[in-house]
Structure 1
Amino acid sequence: MANEPILLLTPLRKGGHNFKEATSPGDWQAISGTLGELGGALDVDEKAQVDLVRSTPDPWAQARSFADAILNPAHRSGSLVGQWRGLIALFGLSAYYEDTYRLSLIPVPLSERNSRFASVMTHLLPQTSLAAPAGDVSHGWNRPIIVRLFELDKERRPIGAGRDLGILNPASLIAAGRDGDAMRVPGIPWMLNGVTDPTRLVGNDALPPAALQMLADYVTRLDVEVAKMCSGRGSPDQQVLLKHLRDRLQSFRDDCLDVRLHPGVDRRTVTIEPGEPWGEGLPHLYQLLASPVRAKAPEPGTSDCIIRLRDDLGDPPPFKGFVLLDPTLGTADRPAAQIGFWGVKTLHQVISGTVSEQQAMRETIAKAGYLMVTPDDLLTRVLVTLDDDERPARIASHPEGLHNCLLPFSPLVLLIRKPEELALSTSVNRDGKVSLTLSVSGRPHAVSRRYVAAPQGADGRLLREVDWGLGDFALWPNFRSDVWRHYCARIDYSSNSLNRLRGRFAMSGRLLADFMRDAQSPELRAKHMAPWGDSAPLDNRGTAAVLDRIPEFEGRKFVGAGLTRLRASNSGGRASEIQISATPYEAAFFSVAVDPNEPPYPAGLSVLQIQEVANPSDRIGVAAIDFGTTNTVACLNETVPLRLAARIVHPVEPASDKGAAFRASELNQKFRDFLPADERSLPSPTVIIGRPLDAPGRDLLDADGALNDGLLIRHLMYFQPDFAEDGTISAIPIKEWSALLNNIKYNLKWSSAPEMRDAARRFLRQLMLMIACEWTAKGGDATNLKWHFSRPKDMGDDVDFLRQLKLALADVVQVPAADAVRPISYEGDAAAAYILDENTKAQGTRGAVNIILDIGGGTTDIAIWDNGKPIKQLFSTSMRLAGGDFFTDHIMRNPEILEDFGLKAWSSVIQQLNKESDAELRANIHYIGELLFSGKTLDNAIEREWSRVSGTDNVRSLKETSYLFLGGLAWFVGRLLRNLIRDGELPRSALGDIAVAFCGRGSGLFVRLHGPDPRAQTEIS
């Protein structure tokens, strides 16, 4: 064998080919055909056993055979074509995947290598090559270029020494190495399992439409530029080679843009432009490969995952929209890899990214004015059901299946859904899966979470039979209007309670948007927004001083352009808060604690049912207020006292109406620090009550004068509860009256102390607020109200009183008219104007002299008029002696008289208070009487019992005291008449025709004693 020649090939067949015979070992012959054609020319008998056939390893065989396969139209090796396309794609998409990999081209000029291997390779050079322009840097086989791929870390730094993929060549442009099938690179979709065809990937491994469009543009440009460089040059064989290469490139391009393979690829979402060439110094052919394309920075909002905000959040909106990162957006028909998330990034790419990569995407989106959200940002971790057998609840505004549940949503949903839309777009199935249907870039999509008792993975926790309390969370008023800017929420709960709802805050989309608008940049808005979508436990910073993670609600107070809030008390196991917004609330948000060792969880929301008042009319309204010593009454466009409607809204209500009357009575006591729970008729006591405060709450208000003077913050009108016929009241133990006395302020009308003047202004301000509310609820605009006030003539400085009224009105009406508060009317004159006005048809008769006695609780106003044409006022004055002196004081000193009228409970409490050791309390016991007697209970009792008890010793004593007052008043009026006669203002003859009109609360007993006939001769006349 050693002497036998070793031939490279078996003998060739005779004829049918153009190959020359090998005559001796090592004799290389250049061939013009392919290896396939050479193989067909070999003369090998099917049964031959040739043991002389030997082969010498050909270092070019892999590259040359790879090129032959690509350039042979008849070649059917799909894997080789796929590898070739995959290698081309690495160049074309190098800019698109610049965070994932980097290519390096390493020239190996054989002529410059001093090695036997280089020498052998030079002798074995393949001859097939595309033509090159004259003078161009050679792209021949003698200048091979190795393609090396580097994976990149998060900072785009190469990892390791890289991996060699193949070499560039002048025939097929690039050829894969022998381990192309085994090459695996995470992050490059077509190299997850070897180098494969990027146009044949499916599902989430498929290239996104934008990448396919970029690749198609790159291949098209490569085809055109190669044709420009090589067309018309070289031999006919080279032109055939060029044609075959271009056919492969054009087929590659067509597959990139085939909508049957890639749905959505025909819809252009990005502008493609040339990337940065990186093949400097290489032959022109290879420079074409190293000239990738890139997507021009897309317009912000280029995404298939956009959720538009509501159209009523104000201008400008806080964000241009939400960008939803939700894996369930991808479906079998529309995988996540085909859904554009942001710019050229697909949903699949972002979902598959690391936490830091997703955070970088969140920041990029924020800079563009959008907010990236996930289902976790919209859905809470718990679903609360209020289905306790003893206290079942119902929320009528919630959808079927969720009437007894809070909706498990974060406040962010209010930016994308109006309250009336939530019921229509929310559903729950039998498995406990709650879904919120949204429009995501024009396509319906449900964001959902399953809630079960024992959650696993992404499940939420189902909390059953959660307790709640009527009145723990309440709002006022029960309407919204474009011209109303006072929306109040009261929150009160036990801070030690478990498995019971705790009010968190009331909110609306507009108010939330206003909070966001305060931030000066999109990035800050996004940062400010993050806590609103966080459903983790609320004690995220581990300190009891932090009430909530949301900045506006984390401390004891907040004062902003759209919201004022005060945590009045947060000690002794009780939390109490008031929140006042200039924007109508749309939902009440709650939290719930389920374990004593865990902080409370955000528990979702209750959609508020608040009607919208139609566009206000421009009609003018007239509000008249008599600011009395013991009671204050008001009228609105009528001559009868105003009834203040029940305007409380409860986010959660009982499933049954059973016990509604009792609940209203109970709430009236509970709502002393809020507004009345039921309808109230004026007059109402001229009394203000302090908001209950713990020590820190008191210190906070004392240090913040503006907040201390805020509407409904420090003081509120006190509304007397309704008593039973016998004077008892079920909702409050009568012994609590002494505690009540220490928390109320009275004598508002007459006290000149600065703090009492503030209290009086706050009383009138709240009354003006509630009157304006009634006007607005009827379709009016409070700016069109004219305010008329009356006061005793000799009370003091009218200028200062008017100034106080205007200050109060400015807190109620945003821009009051300059003449909104009318000149002051004196109480006696106002009464006379009503009584003597023919249009009012007031009861009674007229005489030549008309004396009006307006006997109130603290003052008696006297007006004397003649009966001329026109009538003329002769005199007007007031005196600090009235019903409180002869009626209230008498009863408080002799409470046993109340037993005659069937009010034993009242008699008992007054007797007990008279025995109190607190001297100041005993000194002010008069005001307890004014509170007790301010309603209709005593009047009704006297009416009911008068005929039976009018002759008793107790009642006779009361009448004697009253007559004494009346006698003194008559003497005083007589002196006034004498002075008028003396001054010539009144003829003496007029004294024979005098008519006296009694009005005011203090005159009730005299009217009863006189009877209905105005001309009857009685003890009174």
Structure 2
Amino acid sequence: MSNFFFLPQLKDDSQVKPGNPGEWSAQSFDTLQQVAASLNTENPRQKNRVSSIPHIWARPLLVEMALHDTQHPLRQEITEQWQGMLAAIAFAEMRGFPLTAELIELEQEQDPFARSLRQLLPSDANAVYQLEGKNPWYDVYILLWQNNPVGMSSPSTLVCPSEGGIWAGLPWFVDGKLQSPLARPFLATEEKELLWYWLEKLDQSLPQYGGTRQGINKISLLLQEFKNRLQLYSFQKVDFQLSKKSKSLGQVLNQGALQSLKPIRLAEQPPSVRLIPSPEKADTKELLIIPDSAELLTRRNIAKIAEQWGVKEQQIRICKDVHLAILNGLNHKQRKNRFESWENEYKLIEAKDLFLPEFYFITQERALPGSLLPVGSNGLIYQNNEKKITPLLPINPILLDYLTSEELANRIDFESIDSGSVRVSLRLPLSGLTMGNPPQDYEIQKDYALKPQNALVDVPILEIWPNFQAQGWQEYYAFYYDRNCPTFRVQFPSQIVEVSERFSDSSFLGSFQTVQLNQFPSFIFCQDEQAKNLGLILLSSSPQVSKIDPVNWIVGVDFGTSFTNVYIYCKIDRDRGFSEKLIVMSPPLNLQVTKDAGEGFIPLIEYFITDSPKIVQLPLASILTTRGSSKEDREKNRKIFDGRIYRTDTDIFKISTETTWYKTSLKWSTSHPNFTTLFLKQLALHITAKAVLKNVRSIDWCISYPSAFSDDDKGNYAGIWETIISDLNQSKMVIQHNFLRQDENIGDYLTESLAVAQYFVDNQGQQGQLINSVIIDIGGGTSDISIWEDYRLVYQCSVQLAGNHLFTRFLSQRSDVLQLLFEEEISSTNLNSSTNLNYLDLLLAQEGDSALSERRVLPEIIKNEQFQKVIQLTALGIGGLYYYVGILLKVLSEREIKKSQEIPTIYLGGNGSRLFNWLEDSGKFNRESLINKILLEILQQSTNFTGGLGNIHLSNNPKDEVALGLVLAYDKPLRGLKNAEKYPYIAGEAYKINDAEYNWNSDFPPDNKIESCDLPDLEKLPEFLLNFYNIWTKLTKKEPLIFNRIDINSNSEFWKNIRRFMRNELLAIVNRRRESIRFEPPFILGLKVLLRVLSER
């Protein structure tokens, strides 16, 4: 075993001479210092402890000796520690180090230890600063790391690291030892430059604090060594600043040169972790993505953000003067406080919170056709590679405030890993060290197990309308129905939801939801019944409407009793334009988010807007459905929620015709005008949506009405449209809407009879025939008549006798005929209800032509007695309408309003014009048809006119006439259309008002108030019926079946009953406000009674 001296030897070059043993000798003042400097303290066993110098200030004295003596054996080690401690102070604020200082004033302390410290104070011979009136060693600072002492201040060395101090968390505290930050690459280049400036500033400040030249020179040399060791030969432009905090280390350092130990202040810079938004989202409050901690990343085996970017943590700025290294050094409470201080300027989210806790999936392949699915989602397999699945995205929706659906979907990857697991990767575009030019991706990942309890076996019906985006458009609707299957519920972002209602229906198992949104959703929350988020569905950004070459539309709306039609005139410029029927299905406006399993078709029709090409075609049935609304009828006023246009075909409609939620006769309803409003509101909204897709800049609305409307009807109907147009303009829906053009004194509010005339002139080339013409539009509820001579309108009126009265109602009373014609099983027992009449209208419109071409020629149909009765009743009704037209012509001639006494040409339009084909055995009306000859003779007998061919021209486009005529009249109106005169009815049959008798050729009604009403003996109606009987019998060689066992002579009991029924009808107008009455000329009133009586027989 080797021997060691108990006391250290002297160095070989020691100047200290030993004295004689036992003798005292006088020595100079600095002898003890010379002895200390001459000791050889190197010990091969231990270098970091000196126990042979018994002094209460041993540690700071040792540090002073080691730093001042270049030959000291501990110089290198203590220099490393000294540099490490200075660097910790310099970067304390930048890196958020838990370094604090506590002042010890020995003069104020009275305990024995403090007295000992005072009595043994070191010399200030090497002090770099002085304190006024006292030794600088009297006041020292204890430096604490995480509240544990790790060193102190020293007048001779500025700082003195303690022996064995615990600097846990300091990057250059390695293997239990404090090291220089330059021992390894702990500092980034920018930090080295900042440290160099800090050391330079400290060095320059030393002479101003009254220290000794010797002490200042020693420390200055040490600082120079430290700077040289940084090896900086060129400098970038760095923003060097010192802390502005008065207590930067938790205490004011105001003792001499210690005032220069202010930490470096990290200059504020833009964050490196700012999410770079998509260009469309640039106005959103900036979002900072706080990277996951190193512990989390290690568990997931994912590279830290600093490693991904190839930089150090302190180079990644989190916010302002905090970089990632600082943040990672904070405890939970400190991090929370930092985050709260930034929230006024930024939104923040930790990267780990961008993933949802669980992964939910649909056990069907491609179950979300309307969604955006990331790369790899189509290859995910469940249950031993047997089932392909569709994932719900386990992503926090906050990202969609900054990224479009498309960009987010492109930044997500799915990957199957191991057995029954999936890895979700997310690449986030952050500002990085380039401040976003270009962005730097930060990739995070999470692995999920495909758990059976998270499997969804079905999808709901989920659709959104309309499927486009346009600046200013703020009305969208979504529909959900879960079919009572194990699936997810949906929730839309709250900031875009205007109204959301859930409801159920006993006819359908499951839950419904209708939602109104103020913008197209970029995503949908999927939730369970407890509103727990299961994942997201990303939606494709719907088509953006371009703004190139905008056009103007003139829209003509023919709101009919049975059907509603729409035409547009597209005005390209002042001299060019074209008209066309509104194409409902070009392109579809519904986004089908989920896969249609087939049974979703009916719920969509019943409760939402559907654009199915099978059922959405013009003209639309004038039917509203209020199904699903919980409100009373009078309170239903919200479109879609409380009522929708019922777009259907007969296959669907006939299923439920005995229900209360189908609203028909909207045009004539007075009890619930809100139903009419709901229908037209949705119609206008749908037209506007189509216009947006066509890049329309403005819409001029042209609306028709029957002159059979009462004054109240006319005003109310115009008021509905004025409200609709006003609402559309107030909602700022991209397009400017205009109604009632007053500048040319014609307005956009036109009678149906005039609109039809415009159609025949402009669309069927009949301009030359307006010399002597009658134009009749036979609709579902009214027939609109206009009489023209020499291109001039001489008369117009509208009578409440049309398709429903002339054909549909007769069929409704004979289910056996319907089954024969259409092979339909008519389940309803009440085919006279208005709803079922609409069903028959739909049936005739959709299958009538087929029935005519394929079935009318069959002998069993033609010879069927009940069918023949229907045909004869229809012929009688149309003959009566002709007879009334003859009365009009005759009276106008007698009054010299109309000059010609030749039989005029007749133009027939509207759905009712199709009836003429039913009256011909061949199924196709022509001039040689029997009914044409019958009607011509009726017209001749009612007018007593001679000459003229009286040809009948049927419309080429039944039910298009009014809507198309409206848009044609807007641009180039006929001369007669400027005549806003309201024509009185011509009675056609004698009547009594207030005991005054009026002849059949009188106007009806008189201007005075109606206090009583009666009928004298009938004259014209029996005359017509007898004429019809004779003409029919003569031309067909047989009597009409409908007259069997009826005495049609004018004085018979039959006519007395007809007169009594007519009188009862007329009494309904007594003592009523004139403006509210829908007047009917007595002849037409009597004709309807006659048809009803004959039909019911």
User: Normalising to structure 1: TM-score of the pair?
Assistant: 0.75
Which residue is 1:713 aligned to? 641
Alignment CA distance shift 1:272-1:714 (3 Å): farther
1:440 to 420, 430, 454: 430
Which deviates the most, 619-628 or 843-852?
Answer: 843-852
Which residue is 1:801 aligned to? 717
1:583 aligned to 2:506? no
Alpha-carbon separation, structure 1, partners of 2:543 and 2:143: 66
Alpha-carbon separation, structure 1, partners of 2:678 and 2:626: 11
Alpha-carbon separation, structure 1, partners of 2:848 and 2:8: 131
Which residue is 2:607 aligned to? 673
Amino acid at match of 2:879: G
Which residue is 2:933 aligned to? 1018
1:877 aligned to 2:797? yes
Cα deviation for residue 319 of structure 1 reads 0.5
Alpha-carbon separation, structure 2, partners of 1:386 and 1:123: 81
Which residue is 2:727 aligned to? 811
Q: How does 1:159-198 map to 2 (within 5 A)?
A: 163-177=148-162, 180-181=163-164, 183-184=165-166, 196-197=178-179
Alpha-carbon separation, structure 1, partners of 2:68 and 2:488: 75
Which residue is 1:747 aligned to? 665
1:887 aligned to 2:828? no
Which residue is 1:539 aligned to? none
Q: How does 1:121-270 map to 2 (within 5 A)?
A: 125-126=122-123, 128-130=125-127, 136-139=132-135, 143-149=137-143, 163-177=148-162, 180-181=163-164, 183-184=165-166, 196-197=178-179, 199-200=181-182, 216-229=196-209, 234=213, 238=214, 241-253=215-227, 268=238
1:70 to 38, 45, 67: 67
Structure 2 unaligned residues grouped into runs of 5+: 45-50, 294-303, 379-389, 570-577, 742-746, 937-1097
CA contact (8 A) 2:429 2:440 kept: yes
Amino acid at match of 1:1003: S
Alpha-carbon separation, structure 2, partners of 1:855 and 1:473: 41
Cα deviation for residue 806 of structure 1 reads 2.1
Alpha-carbon separation, structure 1, partners of 2:541 and 2:56: 82
Which residue is 1:790 aligned to? 704
Cα deviation for residue 934 of structure 1 reads 6.1
Alpha-carbon separation, structure 2, partners of 1:335 and 1:994: 97
Alpha-carbon separation, structure 2, partners of 1:607 and 1:746: 37
Cα deviation for residue 848 of structure 1 reads 4.6
1:468 to 449, 459, 462: 459
1:602 aligned to 2:534? yes
Alpha-carbon separation, structure 2, partners of 1:10 and 1:752: 120
Amino acid at match of 2:666: L
Which residue is 2:689 aligned to? 773
Alpha-carbon separation, structure 2, partners of 1:454 and 1:373: 26
Alpha-carbon separation, structure 1, partners of 2:241 and 2:755: 79
CA contact (8 A) 1:487 1:584 kept: yes
CA contact (8 A) 1:438 1:445 kept: yes
Which residue is 1:517 aligned to? none
1:612 aligned to 2:606? no
Cα deviation for residue 430 of structure 1 reads 3.6
Alpha-carbon separation, structure 2, partners of 1:57 and 1:151: 27
Alpha-carbon separation, structure 1, partners of 2:724 and 2:111: 100
Equivalences, count: 858
Which deviates the most, 627-636 or 64-73?
Answer: 64-73
Aligned with 2:867: secondary structure?
Answer: helix
Amino acid at match of 2:564: T
Cα deviation for residue 793 of structure 1 reads 1.3
Cα deviation for residue 487 of structure 1 reads 2.6
Amino acid at match of 1:321: L
CA contact (8 A) 2:100 2:251 kept: no
Cα deviation for residue 625 of structure 1 reads 0.9
Amino acid at match of 1:876: Q
Alpha-carbon separation, structure 2, partners of 1:957 and 1:120: 131
Cα deviation for residue 630 of structure 1 reads 1.2
Alignment CA distance shift 1:19-1:417 (3 Å): farther
Which deviates the most, 124-133 or 330-339?
Answer: 124-133
Alpha-carbon separation, structure 2, partners of 1:946 and 1:275: 100
Amino acid at match of 2:513: E
Q: Equivalent pairs: percent with the same residue?
A: 17
Aligned with 1:585: secondary structure?
Answer: coil
Which residue is 2:984 aligned to? none
Q: How does 1:818-857 map to 2 (within 5 A)?
A: 818-819=738-739, 822-835=747-760, 837=761, 839-842=762-765, 846=769, 848-857=771-780
Alpha-carbon separation, structure 2, partners of 1:116 and 1:970: 130
Alpha-carbon separation, structure 1, partners of 2:928 and 2:559: 32
Which residue is 2:285 aligned to? 319
Which deviates the most, 930-939 or 709-718?
Answer: 930-939
Alignment CA distance shift 1:304-1:247 (3 Å): farther
Aligned with 2:683: secondary structure?
Answer: helix
Cα deviation for residue 877 of structure 1 reads 0.6
Cα deviation for residue 851 of structure 1 reads 1.0
Which residue is 1:1003 aligned to? 913
The structure with the larger Rg is: 2
CA contact (8 A) 1:791 1:824 kept: yes
Alpha-carbon separation, structure 2, partners of 1:41 and 1:94: 34
Which residue is 2:500 aligned to? 566
Cα deviation for residue 93 of structure 1 reads 5.2
Alignment CA distance shift 1:578-1:124 (3 Å): closer
Cα deviation for residue 829 of structure 1 reads 1.0
Amino acid at match of 2:500: L
Which residue is 1:452 aligned to? 448
Which residue is 1:50 aligned to? none
Cα deviation for residue 742 of structure 1 reads 1.0
Cα deviation for residue 282 of structure 1 reads 6.5
CA contact (8 A) 1:475 1:487 kept: yes
Alpha-carbon separation, structure 1, partners of 2:674 and 2:152: 90
Which deviates the most, 571-580 or 933-942?
Answer: 571-580
1:58 aligned to 2:43? no
Which residue is 2:873 aligned to? 961
Which residue is 2:481 aligned to? 492
Alpha-carbon separation, structure 2, partners of 1:257 and 1:488: 67
CA contact (8 A) 2:505 2:628 kept: no
Which residue is 2:256 aligned to? 284
Which residue is 1:310 aligned to? 278
Aligned with 2:851: secondary structure?
Answer: helix
Which deviates the most, 401-410 or 954-963?
Answer: 401-410
Alpha-carbon separation, structure 1, partners of 2:430 and 2:470: 31
Which residue is 1:401 aligned to? 376
Cα distance per residue 1:617-646 (max 9 Å; x no partner): 332211111111111111122655433116
Cα deviation for residue 719 of structure 1 reads 0.8
Amino acid at match of 2:63: F
1:902 to 822, 840, 845: 822
Cα deviation for residue 896 of structure 1 reads 1.0
Which residue is 1:559 aligned to? none
Alignment CA distance shift 1:117-1:228 (3 Å): closer
Alpha-carbon separation, structure 2, partners of 1:354 and 1:124: 39
CA contact (8 A) 2:875 2:919 kept: no
Aligned with 1:199: secondary structure?
Answer: coil
Which deviates the most, 31-40 or 1000-1009?
Answer: 31-40
Q: Could you say what the CA RMSD is over the residues aligned between the two structures, in angstroms?
A: 4.2
1:478 aligned to 2:467? yes
Cα deviation for residue 760 of structure 1 reads 0.8
Cα deviation for residue 830 of structure 1 reads 0.7
Cα distance per residue 1:506-545 (max 9 Å; x no partner): x6xxxxxxxxxxxxxxxxxxxxxxxxxxxxxxxxxxxxxx
Amino acid at match of 1:488: Y
Alpha-carbon separation, structure 2, partners of 1:841 and 1:855: 17
Q: How does 1:374-413 map to 2 (within 5 A)?
A: 374-388=350-364, 394=369, 397-403=372-378, 404-413=390-399
Alpha-carbon separation, structure 2, partners of 1:491 and 1:295: 54
Alpha-carbon separation, structure 1, partners of 2:96 and 2:541: 53
Which deviates the most, 635-644 or 844-853?
Answer: 844-853
Cα deviation for residue 567 of structure 1 reads 1.0
Alpha-carbon separation, structure 2, partners of 1:579 and 1:686: 25
Which deviates the most, 337-346 or 183-192?
Answer: 183-192
Which residue is 1:38 aligned to? 38
CA contact (8 A) 1:861 1:877 kept: yes
Amino acid at match of 2:491: R
Amino acid at match of 2:155: P
Alpha-carbon separation, structure 2, partners of 1:14 and 1:604: 82
Which deviates the most, 972-981 or 348-357?
Answer: 348-357
Aligned with 1:885: secondary structure?
Answer: helix
